[in-house]
């Protein structure tokens, strides 16, 4: 949720193309830096970068984009939980 908040803050302000490009570059480095050791921190940088890059290719309102992203995340989480619960106990991680 925090990563969507960061993306919302950036997209609502609506910076120009040059600033968006610099933000994408600036968000890429920490995302790559933390991806191998701490996915939770990397996600804070990765999700806003993806949404910034996706916005021009998928021109909808910022609120619509963020709501759809949140719904997609909830659906994926529900599917993961359902699969985990459907597995026999001996296949679950200890």
**Over the stretch 54-75, which tens digit does the pLDDT of each residue have?**
777 777 787 887 888 889 888 9
3-state secondary structure of 60: coil
**What is d(CA 3, CA 36) in angstroms, rounded to the nearest whole number?**
18
pLDDT tens by residue, 1-55: 677 777 777 777 777 788 888 888 888 888 888 888 887 888 888 888 887 887 7
Helices and strands (H, E) in the chain, number of each type: 4, 0
The pTM for the full model equals 0.61
């Amino acid at each position: 949720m925090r990563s969507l908040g960061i993306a919302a803050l950036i997209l609502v302000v609506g910076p120009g193309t040059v600033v968006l490009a610099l933000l994408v570059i600036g968000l890429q480095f920490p995302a790559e830096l933390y991806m191998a050791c701490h996915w939770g921190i990397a996600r804070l940088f990765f999700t806003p970068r993806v949404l910034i890059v996706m916005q021009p290719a998928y021109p909808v309102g910022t609120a619509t984009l963020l709501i759809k992203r949140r719904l997609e995340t909830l659906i994926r989480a529900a599917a993961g939980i359902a699969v985990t619960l459907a597995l026999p106990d001996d296949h679950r991680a200890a």
